[in-house]
Chains A and B, each alone.
Chain A
Amino acid sequence: DAKTTQPNSMESNEEEPVHLPCNHSTISGTDYIHWYRQLPSQGPEYVIHGLTSNVNNRMASLAIAEDRKSSTLILHRATLRDAAVYYCILRDGGTASKLTFGTGTRLQVTL
């Protein structure tokens, strides 16, 4: 599986935007870029995914570099409830495509 690299941790103030980077220089043309987050003592939660174009949903935005070797998850206004570990994952494969988790970025949000 192609690998992703994320910073171990980031901090943000509440109500401010947060940009979480992810490098995936070995991404293949058919890999989708997925983001999940995990709150303490819970299972992961889907955030967003994309292939080439930038994506927006109610939770976040995903900005994908033109060469697809990096992407950025954007939380427009961080809240305390956004404090979690964010995982950037490349997903390929057939009908049973598994998710391989890296170490993720631990986001701390402060008042």
Chain B
Amino acid sequence: GAVVSQHPSWVICKSGTSVKIECRSLDFQATTMFWYRQFPKQSLMLMATSNEGSKATYEQGVEKDKFLINHASLTLSTLTVTSAHPEDSSFYICSAGEGAKNTEAFFGQGTRLTVV
């Protein structure tokens, strides 16, 4: 089946620094990718929709200047957490797929971000 790969799997950074997370579709082209955030014991919350070649669409309450999304190619989307703070510590997950409602979505393995 299709594979979506995230990198890194985990990262620890100092408060105030920026962290980039990559999401790659390994064997298919994804014009749309989604970024989620998950806090401990909670469900996944959609942050933004990443569109290849155009600006990302952010969900209400998500700061676009803090969570920079770049989708420069059909197989790569990146999420940069800028000026990270401890409250940004979370599990970040990307997904990709054909996007149609009658097809499955594929998820990356997630990135555990810890800001100290």
Contact = CB atoms under 8 A, between A and B. Distances in A.
Interface of A: 30-32, 34, 36, 38, 41-46, 49, 51, 87, 91-93, 95-104
B104 interface: yes
Interface stretch (B13-21, B60-68, B76-84, B105-113): B105-113
Nearest to A106: B41
Given A91-B101, A96-B32, A101 B44 contact: yes
B90 to A, nearest CB: 13
Contacts, number: 65
Interface of B: 4, 6, 31-32, 34, 36, 43-46, 49, 51, 91, 93-95, 99-102, 104-110, 112
A43 B102 contact: no
A63 B51 CA distance: 34
B100 A97 contact: yes
B99 A97 contact: yes
Nearest to B109: A43
B contacts with A: majority SS? strand
A contacts with B: majority SS? loop
Contact of B43 (A41, A51, A101): A101
A93 to B, nearest CB: 6
B43 A93 contact: no
Contact of A44 (B46, B93, B99, B100): B93
Nearest to B57: A96
Given A41-B112, A44-B93, A96 B101 contact: no
